Structure 1
Amino acid sequence: MATAFLDRRVHPSTGTTSNGSFWRSGHWPTLVAAFLYFDLAFMVWVLLGPLAPDIARTLHLTAAQKGLMVATPTLAGAFLRVVNGLLVDRIGPKRAGAISQLIVIGGLLAAWLLGVNSFGGTLALGVILGFAGASFAIALPLASRWYPAEHQGKAMGLAGMGNSGTVLAALFAPMLAKLFGWNAVLGLACIPLAIVFLVYLALAKDAPNPPPAKALIAYLHPLRSADAWWLMGFYAVTFGGFVGLAASLPIYFTDQFKLSTITAGYCTAACVFAGSLVRPLGGALADRIGGVKALTGVFLVAAAALAGVSVAPTLLAALGCFVVAMLALGTGNGSVFQLVPQRFQAEIGVMTGLVGMAGGVGGFYLASSLGVAKQLSGSFAPGFLVFAALALVALAGLVRVKKTWRATWTGAARI
């Protein structure tokens, strides 16, 4: 095994090695560590969503306040991803990830011990949980720097499948809240976080030949390219839709169909699981047919499914539409990050942060707008329809740029 590792060819542009086999072309312990870190981070990032019905009853929150509460971790995570992207390129992804995990564990312990007794307190907790959402800008570079270009879609997809942690939150948070109270869930979450932190320290390893440190202003250079803005916009729809729905569905199911928090958690978990499962498949599909072709189908299907939710008359119909939407959005998440390293390999750390930030902003918009729509109109439907329209706008943008991308990017066969 060691000999096989030493005999592999060094990839000229990434510094990683490849012998044609995905599992032997990188460092699988780091890939596992990145997945586990991402998985548990996402679990606590959306934790306020499954707990929202109970928190709202205790603190007497309005529909708009509930929407803002579950959206705050998403927005905080969006901007903190840029910070983490800078840290990844400055101090390396492993150390950046360790710092972030300690902040989240400390914040949850403080919230459990001191209690969260006001709407302002939920927003403060949401900001701390944003550090968990910002794990995106660490876990993906941690894994992807080990893999050559031909395996980027699979590596990013497998590491990114850690967004399945949202399933854990939806499944277990309502049950634990019923048994011990919702505030106790904040403390209980620290147990698996601490275990994964130790595993992360043992398994994760920074890739050799990292990009050299640049002046701080240089990290914003990608924003001079229109391609960066297009990729950010596409991810605002795909990932924004995924995480926005993951945070909002417990509220939707309890308000719209009067489900118990536990049953709403099961329904949410089914939807989120679908989106998480297909993320690596989305990356592999994009490797096979090209990220642009994959995203074209993603935006069409997501727009149709979200529009369907707005008029769904029954729980079964709504659930079916949500599953289809999540399948499309999850595929889109993997597809966007198959494209990012094709265009910005040298700036992968900061671009992961910038694109991830855009995804978080999209999630904040969806989650908060659903609460506002419910309070102003008495229905969630306008919020879903507007986001469906945004998916069609993204599709129009993709059609506009695809010819230029295929003509100017290297590796056009994978675009």
Structure 2
Amino acid sequence: MTGPAPQAGAGPAPAAGARTRRPGGRWIQDWDPEDERFWAEKGERIARRNLAFSILSEHIGFSIWTLWSVLVLFMGPEYGIDAAGKFFLVSVATLVGAIVRVPYTFAVARFGGRNWTVVSAAMLLLPTAAAWIVMEPGTSYTTFLLVAVLTGVGGGNFASSMTNINSFFPLRKKGWALGLNAGGGNIGVPVIQLAGLLVIATAGDGSPRVLLAVYAPLIVLAAVLAWRHMDNLETVTNDTGAARESVRDGHTWIMSFLYIGTFGSFIGYSFAFGLVLQNQFDRTPLQAASITFLGPLLGSLIRPVGGALADRFGGARITLYTFCGMAAATGVVILASGSESLPVFLVGFIALFVLTGLGNGSTYKMIPGIYHAKAHALGLTGEAAAAYGRRLSGAAIGLIGAVGALGGLGINLAFRQSFLSTGTGTAAFVSFLAFYVACCVVTWVVYLRGTGTGRPQDGGTADTGGQRAQPAYAGV
């Protein structure tokens, strides 16, 4: 993963655009955002500029990653692809998007944040152009699968963008910056669905190339703006030792499991919502498209609220309440699915989206807090504890994000099997309910049991009535 490399006597950074020995674009040699004077004089201005153009690139990356959630709405009976085949198409895009998050995480340190943003944005032209070529009846299913593979590159933009922005901001500003970066990217999902709705409403469901023609120039614009206005940080390096250590740490895999439940659900439902409406409730492409954007939009907008609630009440506590709510909402969806009540189904499904957004914010907030608490448990204090927490959480975030995204694959495969076997999504929702209950249990057992009723401080210990104290993670 990446993190600021230690510097001896780091002083104020050169103006943005300063070049060093490394080739390939604008490099800032010294970067010390924790120095309040440096931050006030020039650091904040540079960091905010990079954040703005990073959000733009990540936003379009999310849109292209979820492109097939919209294109399948254009694929009528003349394409000869059933519901199971369409769910498998979006599953392939989800899988590739999750896998490429790992190399994208390390690419920032290898090539530079600005340089990689330009490259990763330009790469989005490949799936867009390929979809333009193949989107017509008569194209083989294998060809559609190959194009879905290409769209997966958009899923990697999130990992590289978050890694890059994490290095620009001081610890006291990271929550705000990362929340804004993530939320701005997530909104790319409902935006492309709204764009698809507009195309279907105006040009008809036989004109998918209109949607692609809209996004091609936006991709070029994002790459050009990143090239002209972003910077690389010379001080960002790949810490392979921290990456290995995070892989061996149990909390990395526990949080990956919980992130499957929050972000995995968000991205999986974003891909599947329109298909479920079409195949279970017989909605037309226009009717489905007029609803599908609402859930991802609300889930994206509320993500920063989840982080803010976690700041106030503790990430583990908000995550537990979120999973309890998701289990209840899934129960509503199961009842509505069985009774074929579309209004009740929509209420339950959109509630799921809102709760996944809250959970995305709270689980992401937990990660640095957990490793900060572990530092205190090891006897570290002050800056040493903060540095340990930053190093391990930075390494874990990329892996957790990649594994969490695989939850979207699981959701779409579950829907595929459910529709293939029973013609409805009810069986899939039952399996989701069981998973959310498991997430509730894991969150309570690992991060809340023994913490008492009060809110413990980060990294503290809980009073367990004379028994051996457990780490108090409710405040992380």
TM-score (norm 2): 0.77
Which shifted more, 286-295 or 140-149?
Answer: 140-149
Quick one: distance in 2 between partners of 1:413 and 1:208? Answer: 36
Alignment CA distance shift 1:336-1:92 (3 Å): farther
Shift of 1:373: 0.2
Q: Is the 8 A contact 1:76 1:130 kept in 2?
A: yes
What is the aligned partner in structure 2 of residue 366 from structure 1?
A: 411
How many Å separate the matches in 2 of 1:76 and 1:238?
Answer: 19
- Report whether the alignment pairs 1:321 with 2:343: no
Task: Provide the residue aligned with 1:185 in structure 2.
Answer: 211
* Aligned counterparts of 1:218 and 1:17: Cα–Cα separation in 2: 21
Q: How does 1:15-414 map to 2 (within 5 A)?
A: 15-17=32-34, 24=44, 27-55=47-75, 57-113=77-133, 115=135, 117-161=139-183, 162-177=185-200, 178-179=203-204, 181-207=207-233, 209-210=235-236, 212-215=237-240, 219-312=243-336, 313-342=340-369, 343=371, 345-347=390-392, 350-402=395-447, 406-407=459-460, 414=475
Q: 1:407 to 1:230 in 2, by over 3 A?
A: farther
Amino acid at match of 1:244: G
Q: Could you tell me how far 1:147 is from its partner in structure 2?
A: 2.3
> How far does residue 249 in structure 1 lie from its aligned partner after superposition?
0.6
- Which SS does the other structure have where 1:145 is aligned? helix
Distance in 2, Cα, partners of 1:284 & 1:151:
13
In the alignment, the residues of structure 1 paired with residue 392 and residue 114 of structure 2 have an alpha-carbon distance, to the nearest angstrom, of 17
Contact 1:156 1:334 in 2 (8 A): no
AA aligned to 1:147 is: F
Does structure 2 conserve the Cα–Cα contact (< 8 Å) formed by 1:300 and 1:391? yes
**Aligned-pair CA distance for 1:251:** 0.6
Pairwise CA distance, 1:26: 7.7
The farther-off stretch of 15-24 and 399-408 is 15-24
Greater Cα shift, 193-202 or 379-388: 193-202
Query: Partners of 1:204 and 1:265 in 2: how far apart?
Result: 35
- C-alpha displacement of 1:407: 4.5
Query: Are the structure 2 counterparts of residues 154 and 311 from structure 1 closer, same or farther at C-alpha, using a change threshold of 3 Å?
Result: same
Post-superposition offset of 1:24: 4.8
SS of 1:61 mapped into structure 2 = coil
Q: CA deviation at 1:47?
A: 1.2
Separation in structure 2 between the aligned mates of residue 283 and residue 399 of structure 1, nearest angstrom: 19
Distance 1:341 1:33, change over 3 A: farther
Amino acid at match of 2:439: A
Stretch deviating more after TM superposition (24-33 or 403-412): 403-412
Contact 1:72 1:127 in 2 (8 A): yes
CA-to-aligned-CA distance 1:169-195 (integer Å, 9 cap, x gap) = 211124325446124433432122222
Contact 2:268 2:409 in 1 (8 A): yes
Rounded to whole Å, the distance in 1 between the matches of 2:78 and 2:368 is 46
> Cα 1:335–1:237, aligned 2, differ >3 Å: closer, same or farther?
same
Whether the 8 Å CA contact 1:154–1:284 is kept in 2: the answer is no
Whichever of the two has the greater Rg, that structure is 2
Q: C-alpha separation between the residues in 2 aligned to 1:410 and 1:148?
A: 26
Residue 73 of structure 1: CA displacement? Answer: 1.0
Shift of 1:44: 1.4
* Cα distance between partner residues in 1 of 2:352 and 2:72: 22
Q: Which one is further off, 305-314 or 342-351?
A: 342-351
- Distance in 2 between the 1:413 and 1:388 partners? 24
Higher normalized helix content (fraction of residues): 1
Q: Which amino acid aligns with 1:139?
A: S
Shift in CA distance, 146/348, structure 1 to aligned 2, threshold 3 Å: farther
Partner of 1:10: none
1:370 Cα deviation from its structure 2 partner:
0.8
- Offset of 1:350 from its aligned partner? 4.3
Q: 1:173 to 1:76 in 2, by over 3 A?
A: same
Residues matched between the structures, number: 403
Distance 2:439 2:276 in 1: 25
**Conservation of the 8 A alpha-carbon contact between 1:279 and 1:334:** yes
Q: Quick one: which amino acid aligns to residue 199 of structure 2?
A: L
**RMSD between aligned residues:** 2.9
What corresponds to 2:16 in structure 1?
none
Distance 1:206 1:410 in 2: 38
Residue in 2 that maps onto 1:11: none
Cα distance per residue 1:210-248 (max 9 Å; x no partner) = 2x3345x76333110001001111111101100111000
1:341 maps to amino acid: P
| Aligned-partner residue type, residue 198 of structure 2 | M
Q: Return 5+ residue gaps in structure 2 as ranges.
A: 1-10, 14-30, 372-388, 450-457, 462-469
Secondary structure of the residue that 1:75 maps to in structure 2?
helix
- Cα deviation, residue 278, structure 1: 0.7
CA distance in 2, matches of 1:64, 1:153: 40
Q: Counterpart of 1:191 in 2: which secondary structure?
A: helix
AA in 2 matched with 1:346: R
8 Å contact kept, 2:245–2:392: no
**Is this contact kept in 2: 1:253–1:264, CA < 8 A?**
yes
SS of the equivalent of 1:258 reads: coil
Distance 1:297 1:219, change over 3 A: same
Q: State the identity %.
A: 24
